[in-house]
Amino acid sequence: MNIRLSDPWERYSRQILFHGIGLEGQKKLKASRVAVVGVGALGTVIANHLTRAGVGFIRLIDRDFVERSNLQRQMLFDESDADRLVPKAIAARDKLRAVNREVEIEAVVDHLSAENAEALLTDVEIILDGTDNFAVRLLINDVSVKHRIPWVHGAVVRARGIHAFFHPPKTPCYRCLFPQPPEGGGETCDTVGVIGPIVDIIASMEVTAALKWIVGAADRLPTSLVDIDLWENAHAAIDISGAKNANCPACGLGRYEFLDERRGEAISSVLCGRNAVQITPYGRRTLDLHAVRARWNALGHVRESPHLLRLEQEGLTLTLFRDGRLIVQGTDDVAHAERLYAEYVGR
Ligand SMILES: [Zn+2]
């Protein structure tokens, strides 16, 4: 293939040369839309590859802001992002704009919930899992089964990673394999740690599956759940093609329990391993952070960024986002966090 320097596809020339993609595949990538749920370790590597590969539209969804402990493995962030408390979705978008302006990147600073999941995940052709949270994965899975949208699963803790591709009803769904979130939420990077290299490997496998799906190489998609432990030099591929469970609530019985959880009140959740509680108010709202700051100034040390407000007081750190979400660090007492919400933010 002869690619001239002035060629609009020159940026992708090495990828176009690859037999699995070609110019036709590259055009499909440019026309494609994807969502990435979670822009932490996995999500930053995923978003980086997708942007450089020339995927046309990428929606980045993440509720959190950059902290210094993220920098060891979250490849798109730097010290200034942590110092300025930039939300991860926005920090990633801003970095990636400098990498490839041809890609449209939408940053959503929000927690994926039953309320917003269908709005955020059904106008894309594939969903990539960058989360560290079983409940969110089960929610993604409900959307996937209900709307027949494929998703790519990835999970990492310690030096171990798991990866699988789901496109029910052609494949089993995630819930066929993992029916319920484990008690206590399971091990997370916040409780048992993680090393960077396993993140890159699993995220890269997720991106490869997405590329295959988008360019129409579905016959190359993995039918196994891959389980790799870099520290133990272990690599297993477990065939899941026959793992469909006829009684699976989601793909067997058509009950979307995580998606249909209708909530009439604020949702409070303990953020596992972080000694923190997140309170998400019901319904959309936009707070005037500046007005809240005026009240908070009397309570303790306050910092303000365009996206959030942070109050340090009596060993607790309260981080308030414009959409009304509050993360209280320094406690796992939900009732206490809810009292603070009522008192400091209001209903
Ligand atoms: Zn299932």
- Averaged over 112-140, what is the pLDDT? 94
Can you give the pLDDT at residue 54?
Answer: 98
Q: Is the pLDDT of residue 339 over 60?
A: yes
Q: Is the pLDDT of residue 272 over 90?
A: no
* Ligand 1 geometric centre to CA of 209 (Å): 20
Structure tokens at 274: 């972080």
Q: Is the pLDDT of residue 265 over 60?
A: no
Q: Which residue has the tokens 């206490």?
A: 336
* Ligand 1 geometric centre to CA of 176 (Å): 4
**β-bridge partners, 153:** 164
* Ligand 1 geometric centre to CA of 252 (Å): 6
**β-bridge partners, 104:** 57
Q: Is the pLDDT of residue 191 over 80?
A: no
* Ligand 1 geometric centre to CA of 27 (Å): 33
* Ligand 1 geometric centre to CA of 278 (Å): 29
Q: What angle do CA 303, 271, 184 make, to 5 degrees?
A: 170
Can you give the pLDDT at residue 240?
Answer: 97
Can you give the pLDDT at residue 135?
Answer: 85
* Ligand 1 geometric centre to CA of 249 (Å): 7
Q: Are 113 and 133 in contact (CB under 8 A)?
A: no
- Averaged over 255-277, what is the pLDDT? 75
* Ligand 1 geometric centre to CA of 256 (Å): 11
Q: Are 251 and 145 in contact (CB under 8 A)?
A: yes
With the CA atoms of 337, 341, 344 and 347 taken in that order, what torsion angle do they form, in degrees rounded to the nearest 10? -170
**What is the C-alpha to C-alpha distance for residues 74 and 91, in angstroms, rounded to an integer?**
11
Can you give the pLDDT at residue 197?
Answer: 97
* Ligand 1 geometric centre to CA of 280 (Å): 28
- Averaged over 108-126, what is the pLDDT? 95
- Averaged over 155-179, what is the pLDDT? 95
Top pLDDT among 187 and 323 is at 323
Can you give the pLDDT at residue 186?
Answer: 67
Can you give the pLDDT at residue 92?
Answer: 98
Can you give the pLDDT at residue 347?
Answer: 60
* Ligand 1 geometric centre to CA of 254 (Å): 9
* Ligand 1 geometric centre to CA of 248 (Å): 5
Q: Of 250, 244, 272, 261, which is closest to residue 332 (Cα–Cα)?
A: 272
Q: Is the pLDDT of residue 269 over 80?
A: no
CA 314 distance to own-chain centroid: 32
* Ligand 1 geometric centre to CA of 126 (Å): 18
Q: What is the pLDDT of residues 30-75, one digit of tens each?
A: 999 999 999 999 999 999 999 999 999 999 999 999 999 999 999 9
Q: Is the pLDDT of residue 89 over 80?
A: yes
**Mean pLDDT of all residues in the chain?**
91
- Averaged over 174-195, what is the pLDDT? 78
What is the secondary structure of 58-86 as a DSSP string?
EEEEE--B--GGGTTT-TT--HHHHHTT-
Can you give the pLDDT at residue 183?
Answer: 60
* Ligand 1 geometric centre to CA of 150 (Å): 13
* Ligand 1 geometric centre to CA of 210 (Å): 21
Structure tokens at 241: 């093609």
* Ligand 1 geometric centre to CA of 114 (Å): 18
* Ligand 1 geometric centre to CA of 133 (Å): 18
* Ligand 1 geometric centre to CA of 214 (Å): 23
Can you give the pLDDT at residue 1?
Answer: 57
Which range, of 120-129, 253-262, 275-284, averages the lowest pLDDT? Answer: 275-284
* Ligand 1 geometric centre to CA of 171 (Å): 9
Can you give the pLDDT at residue 192?
Answer: 84
Q: What is the pLDDT of residues 285-304, one digit of tens each?
A: 788 888 888 888 888 899 98
* Ligand 1 geometric centre to CA of 329 (Å): 35
Q: Which residue has the tokens 């932490």?
A: 40
pLDDT band, very low/low/confident/very high, at 263 (cuts 50, 70, 90): low
Q: Are 151 and 144 in contact (CB under 8 A)?
A: yes
* Ligand 1 geometric centre to CA of 111 (Å): 24
Q: Are 325 and 292 in contact (CB under 8 A)?
A: no
> Domains in the chain, please, with CATH?
32-239 (3.40.50.720), 267-344 (3.30.310)
| pTM for the model | 0.83
Which range, of 27-41, 254-268, 318-332, averages the lowest pLDDT? Answer: 254-268
Structure tokens at 157: 């803790």
Top pLDDT among 190 and 69 is at 69
